[in-house]
Amino acid sequence: MANPSAFRLSLAGIAAALLSTTAHAAPVEHKQTPGAMIASAAVVPPGNTLYFLSGATGSPIDPKDMESPDAFGDTEAQALSIFTKMKAQLADLGLTMGDVVKLTVFLVGDPKLGGKMDRDGMTRAYKKFFGTADQPNLPTRSAFQIAGLARPQQLIEIEAIAAKGN
């Protein structure tokens, strides 16, 4: 090559262009239908980082009691506990609940409801964290009734995926 300095300069220019592209990723887009409780889709453009949060269950109401039938509360109380912990976990990562793009919700049938899952209880807790005036973003979501979780008193487990530009 006739001019090695020019070659190094052009490589530096290419590298700078690539870095500037990823440094300014397009924002995540939540496709939301007015009045809906969940997003119909979430678009995560290149340059965003994905964060996978493990499934979490609610904390016991009284840490000294993990064995009684009501140790963790009903589905709504457990979902509130999970979302509160999730919000703190996201904050530790520099994220907010508005960065959540996907929730997977596993519900156990509540014996007090004839073995049916308490989707309404979960939804009441969910609405305190998503689609609010302070946090209008809605994640995509799937919810399933399953046979059971690690403890028989646990009625719900939630895992999440969040995304944010670099």
The CATH number assigned to the domain holding 107 equals 3.30.1330.40
pTM: 0.84
Domain membership of residue 53 as a residue range: 32-165
Taking each helix axis from N to C end, the angle separating 119-126 and 75-92, rounded to the nearest 10 degrees, works out to 40
pLDDT for res 32: 87
User: Could you tell me if residue 14 is inside a domain?
Assistant: no
In this prediction, residue 166 has a pLDDT band, given cuts at 50, 70 and 90, of: confident
Residue for token digits 């300014």? 24
Q: Looking at the 3D structure of the chain, how many domains does it have?
A: 1
pLDDT of residue 10: 55
Most confident region among 7-11, 67-71, 148-152, 160-164 by mean pLDDT: 160-164
pLDDT of 25 reads 84
Q: Buried b vs exposed e over 8-30: b needs ≥16 C-beta within 10 Å?
A: eeeeeeeeeeeeeeeeebeebeb
Strands 140-146 and 48-57: unpaired
Work out the burial of residue 46: count CB atoms within 10 Å of its CB; fewer than 13 is exposed, 13-18 middle, 19 or more buried. exposed
* Residue 16: pLDDT over 80: no
Q: Let me know if residue 96 belongs to a domain.
A: yes
Cα dihedral 81→60→109→100 (10° resolution):
20
What sections of 28-101 are H helices per DSSP?
Answer: 75-92
Alpha-carbon gap, residue 116 to 19, rounded angstroms: 51
* pLDDT score at 20: 47
According to the model, what pLDDT value does residue 21 have?
47
